[in-house]
Structure 1
Amino acid sequence: MLVISGPVFTDLLTVNKDEGLIRFNQNRLLLMESETIFQLREELIQNLGYDIARNVLTRFGYRSGMKDVVAFKNLYYFESDADWLLAGPKMHTLEGIVHSTCESLEYDRSRGTFHMTAIWRNSYEAEQHLQKHGRANEPVCWSLTGYASGYASGFMGSQVVGIETMCQGMGDPYCKLELRSLEEWNGQENRVIDDLKQNMIMKSLQTMLEEERERVSLLKHLNSAIIDIGMSLESSNMPIKTVTYAQRLFNAKKVILAIVNVQSGKAVLYETINRSEVATKVFAGDSDIAAFILKNRQPMVWENSEKVLDLGSGSIRVRNLIYIPLDSKELFGAIIVINKVNGKQFTQNDQELLTLLATQSSIALGNARAYEQTNRDLKEKVDELYRVNKLLYAEHDALQKATNIHSQLTSVVLEGHGLEMIARNLGSIVNKSVIITDQFYNIMSVYGQEDDFDLKEFWHTAVQDPTLKQELSLFKEKQLNVDDKRAHIFYKYGHFEMFIVPVTASKESLGFVITLEKNKTHNQLESIAMEQVATVIALEILKQKAAFETERRIKKDFLEELLKNSHENEDGTMTRAKELGMDLSQLYRVFAVELIDEDSNGQTELQGDTVNRLGNLCQALERVIKQVSDSMVLIGKKNYFIGTLSLIGKSRKNTDRYLQEVIENLEKLFKITFPNYRWYIGIGSPCTGVANFNSSYHDACTTIETIKSLRFENKCSSYERIAVLGLLNINIEQLRRFVDKTIGCLLEYDQKHNSNLIFTLDLYYKNNCNVEKSARKGFMSSSTIKYRLRRITEIANIDLSDQETNLAIQLALKIIQGL
């Protein structure tokens, strides 16, 4: 139970008997019997009816409570808000109206919650009702309930409603009151709220007519405002017009329209400065105005408040206020009308009219925005149509030029003039120098507009540039992975701008076509011409490729007949060979190559897309072999390849020296070209006639098997080097075991650690086991030679001072050197 404390009200009470005045802090009081007040109550009931009488007395109490809560706040200093709140009940007790005791009190201004219960004893309204009418069916303390609601509402600054839950007039031992904020009643307070509203029946006919005239006038002005706002098609003027009309309609001191962007939280504020001006301000997402509007989404009306409202545009002292939230597709925010100029309160009619104005403004704003968006869309469409029309004209012109270029180039192809004429035609069209290359960047044709330098020399130098080489490689790879998208690159090398377009067919790179000129950019005509030329070049290359493949297939078939020795007669075979460009009266050798992919986990057959890989390996082998032999035919089967080496022009005397150069060059090129393969190359015996090709083929295969039997890898050898083994009738397997037993562990160590122990050992024996001489010949220090010899004795577990051991080691070294 809370104890009422606070000021002593009796100190402010004065009685002047001479003048007949009783005052409370200069305010006049009337002292009369409760019977007199009750008679007024009875008159109201008899003349206006029970409900209207209750309405009048409840509003009478509500206004009295609102007045007292403001007066007490200005009159006294209260130690706490609770003291200020409980001053009202204390005053009632001193006035003899009722004895009030606060039972519980809880409130939170920040959340807008309020809950209080009080017990009333000796209520004058309940006492008089029992005397005149007996027990009632409902609470009868009307003015007391209204007073409590008005006092608590003024205290909280928001609507608080009191309901009498027990009443002595109903036969209860005492009266009990419960006060809650409006939102906490959940509709139970509807009748009390109706009692707090002004009843139109109580007004005089003249007042009603005046208010109706004012209402009609306001509706006319509102209608004019809505028409004016609705006819405007500029969305930027809508908020300003709405604020201006609201100020005129309600004769308000200030009107604020806030529009909030829900996503960003940013608020745009339109507020009246005077009768003819509206100021606009923009506030960030965390501003008070945005937070206030996002929190309060229900209409509000403040009456006779003394609040200070801070909405971001400065502090405003508010006495009367209407707050209408705006929540539509077109507009989210709120409109706030503050303080009438004449000091009057806002009515229910004002709230309805403001709601109507806000709704119509939202609709008009939506229409204006839609109109503006439609205008923007139409402008974009017109601009797009203009752009498309311009593009169509340009495309038509380009198509005409492309047709002319295509006809010109097609006639070149059909007439069989080849790549030289194609390059010449392209150069004359674009007025630039032209280079055509294959997929390996080798020049196929050139056409030069530059007289002061060699185009071929320029390209050979440019293509060695690592950056250009990488660009071309990436460009070629990208082109093969993208369907139907003709790409190009620009590259500046020296003083020249190069425009490079790929030549492709069915995702296969065939080469490049390049135009170049000093400090000159390309144009649309050049792009069209380059694309057309790339297609024509692709057709020409495919035609040449088909002819080459046909010739190559015929040569392969012919070589297979030679290797199988299945030809009908020697003269016919010689004639066919000459037709194919081979002079079999000259010296040839058959060679065999076996390639094993290191990524195939030791399998001897090629894995994956065998056909494609076989083709690629054939092409790579052909490029390598062509670097050591002028004439060659190659057959590929799985990972085995067979071909011929031409020794045309080589005399019998220098054949051996030439053969050694071929072997050394092949080993060097194979290590570069096939770093991820194990390979074996066997070169057969010389072919002096048609009948020798079969035996040379078998000799080449035997050479490979011998190399593999001795566990050599990445080795090239001729049949002559192993022929002595056949003459001595030496078993290859026994020979391999001898080499393995003698120096096999050293060979494995060198292969595994990439060391040179075998080289060091051979150097040591070639220099008569002299360490100093071996060091000089091998360009090493003597300490290095000694260290390696010590490692050799440790790894092979041999004694280099033993003569028999030295003999065995030297024999094994001779065997592997012979291969």
Structure 2
Amino acid sequence: MFNKSDLHSYITFDAATGKIHLKDQRMILVGTDAIGLLRRDLIRSVGMDQAKKILLRYGRNYGVEFAKNLKALFSFESPFEWFHAGPQMSKITGAFFSQNAKIIYNHTTGEYFAEGYWHYSYEAEQHLKHFGVHNEPVCHTLTGFIGGYASEHYGRDIIVKEIKCVGKGDEHCLMIAKPAKEWDEKDLLDQLDQDSQEMIEINSPFLKIEKQRDAYKKLLKFNEKLSEILIQGQELSSIIKFLGETLNLGVTLEDKDFRLIESFGLFKYSMLDIIKFKNHILFSNLLKDIKQPVHYTFAEGSGWTHERLICPIHTKNGLFGYISLIKDSGEFDETEFSALEAASKFCSIQLLHTITRIEVEHRLKNELFIELLKKNCNADELTYRSKLMGYNLELPHYLFIVHFASFDPNADPAKDLQVQVIDTLHTQIKSLGSHTQCLLTSKSDHIIAIIPLELLEKTGIGVKPLAQLLLKTLESKYKDMIITFGISSICKKIEDYRRGYEEAQKAVQLLTVRKKHSSIVSSEDLSTFSKIINPENMDQLKKFAELLLQGIRLYDEKNNNELLKTLFYYLENQGNIQNTSQDLHISIGATRYRLKRIQEISHLDLTSSKDFYEAHLALQILIFLDDIDIY
């Protein structure tokens, strides 16, 4: 009799012969890694589709024989006990742990339906180990085994299909079993048609070698053409176009966040659009770990029904993005897998060339600018070097400093931010239509742009409007950053660039101490006092200005008067009372009275050149700091 409570007692180990028996049936103990390697080599040799059919049929035959052997070995009290013995013994052998959710069968009516879960599938574990996440269930041997066992027990063909699978990213494996007549033709062929032409081809070494040779020739020509594209210095778009035209398929190139970069042929939505659908959130996370092409089926829930073969692209900086083949339906063959892998590698090489070129160009520009900032720079040498790089620094230029700061003071800006900003600025300037070159480089926490006067004259854009255009472009792209522009006065010769850099830098520094946010300031905007101060002494100057004008400001606030405004216009008009009266739109007598009250309250003697200068300086400080509003 079959004792399900003590299954281990039926397994014996003979130390003398090294044999293992399940009662009278000899068994062997094989590691799952060994089976996984055999399975891996089978898939690599004949492809996923053919391997699936072989594994399904092997599993089915194994299940039939296992059911027969169990029936012969044990005296089952009922067909029901025989049916459940299979999963129980599979648990003992370590293949999987099954858990039935629903079973309906009736020998009289022919009704049969089973639904169940299995956990800890060795087949799913091994597939993930060697191939990563697949687009469809992978437990083919186990699926076939259950179908074969159920068929032998029931006396009719039962087909089992795996609906969910750990091997395709699901939490567990789920199977459904029904009579053969209730499945479609494809499912029957996969598990029952053992004499198909495809199996004959698999067993024919000659046909296999012929197919491999043809595929190798095609791939060799494909790689030669991709090499030509690289040698000719063509862009990634050329690789995408060639891949699509050669395979007659849609192709997409997307970055690591699934934003579309390039596309060819059949295309409707980017991966980013598809991932926005709720049922593909898990898929987007799984994609980040793939190492080779993965075939994924997008059903109606994705918004676009299609098949996609996805392959990662890696550079020295890590994952760059993904290149994908797209078709309406069907499987991808070995040639398409190989071509996509090759295209991915060539994209990596092309990107490496681009990154290296950009890094070298950036280093040369940075070295040139460092030399420009030296006190005793060699003007002739720098002129020669700049012309070799396509710039003529002898012509008049403005110098911009573009400073970046995060709204979050603790934020750590991305390392490649400066490269991205330079690329954005270069693209925007190039779009203006002028072929005049602008030198763009970076230094610590800011970007330096040397803008030729010739560019402004050709485009008809003023220096400040150009800065406003560039600021708008950057703010739309970097919404979490505070961006400020400092603009120098015009630099007419090589020796002026050091002075221009200091002017633009001071303009940016002074922007940081103002109350009102201002994003652009030029050297010409700054008053005379601003050119001789710095943020370090600003607190001291502010205290001086507030103390000097404190009495007048309090009087104005208490009496709703305009003594401070009167003082400002009097000083701006160099002590001319008539002009001051006209600016204030009051009589000369009223102006004289206000000036008298100002001197009484502040103890200033406006006839003294010292007091006159200090009052003017104090007003300029507070106006610059946006501490008072005169206008």
Larger relative CO (CA 8 A, sep 6+): 1 or 2?
2
Structure exhibiting the larger radius of gyration computed from Cα positions: 1
Question: TM-score if structure 1 supplies the norm length?
Answer: 0.38
